[in-house]
Amino acid sequence: MRLETLAQQIGHVKCFADIGSDHAQLPIVMIESGRAQRAIAVEVAKGPYEATREAIEQAWLQDRIEARLGNGLDPISSGEVELVAIAGMGAQTMWEILTTPHADEVLSAHGGVSLALQPMAQGGLMRYFAVQGHYQVAYDQRVVAHGLRYEVMRLNKRTRGEKEALAPRALELRAAYDRLSPYEKWRFTFGEHGLRDRCPHVLAHMKEEVAALQQIQNRLRTGQTERSKSRIPVIEEELAALMELIGETYEIPRSAFY
């Protein structure tokens, strides 16, 4: 379901790259369903790279899917692909892959390469990346598979005028994300699409975050150290901002959580 949703969001492409391909499931699904003509499956680690090659051979797709060993977008030349997919990794790793000088070159080819992303954690960082990189969020969906909730998003490059490279400002921007106010951070965490659509999966996610923060709050209140005492206002601020957003979006009052 997770990779099928990603494949649906990708739609039809001539050639795309799957970074961190492992068993090459996404490129195989894309080729076998007729949605892609060619794919490049990149792996940084030797073991998964061998698994990628074997899976491609077993599917008899060596003429359509090429396995390459290397870090992130390094093995991809500028102009080779019209879309880059990255699934099953944390958003911090995705951020690092997408903000190198070489990534700037690869992603600015064809007037803007699209992205299909499925971050395992910190999806908000990818939505922040979309804003900073002048991408339009075409899809931002939640998929539940095997009892786990996954975030799957498609970002299209806005083509007019924004050629600015991210790599020179990557560290500064990453630090700026951490300095966002709790309210801004929550908006990125849940995403404008999910908030606009009042997505039930987003509400479930919000309730989990409230429960987790309340648990931390209770633990800190019983803690004796100066460090635990100093963290209480930080957690309270995060909780207040989250409840404000839940109230605005789903019209659920704060009292419902106490």
Q: Which residues bind ligand SAM (CB under 6 A)?
A: 19-22, 25, 42-45, 48, 71-72, 87-89, 93, 97
Q: Show the CA angle centred on residue 23, arms to residues 19 and 28, nearest 5°.
A: 85
Q: Shortest distance, CB of residue 29 to ligand SAM, whole angstroms?
A: 11
Secondary structure class of 116 (helix, strand, coil): strand
Q: Shortest distance, CB of residue 163 to ligand SAM, whole angstroms?
A: 25
Q: Based on CB atoms, which residue is closest to ligand SAM, 58 or 215?
A: 58
Q: Residue 199's CB: how many other CB atoms inside 10 A?
A: 19
Nearest-CB residue to ligand SAM?
20
User: What's the order of all strands across the beta sheet hosting 83-89?
Assistant: 65-69, 36-43, 13-19, 83-89, 114-119, 148-157, 135-145
Secondary structure class of 184 (helix, strand, coil): helix
First to last CA, the chain: 35
Q: Shortest distance, CB of residue 93 to ligand SAM, whole angstroms?
A: 5
Q: Based on CB atoms, which residue is closest to ligand SAM, 19 or 239?
A: 19
Q: Shortest distance, CB of residue 88 to ligand SAM, whole angstroms?
A: 3
Q: Shortest distance, CB of residue 203 to ligand SAM, whole angstroms?
A: 26
Q: Based on CB atoms, which residue is closest to ligand SAM, 68 or 207?
A: 68
Residues 6+ apart with CB under 8 A from 135: 115, 129, 155, 156, 157, 158
Q: Based on CB atoms, which residue is closest to ligand SAM, 170 or 220?
A: 170
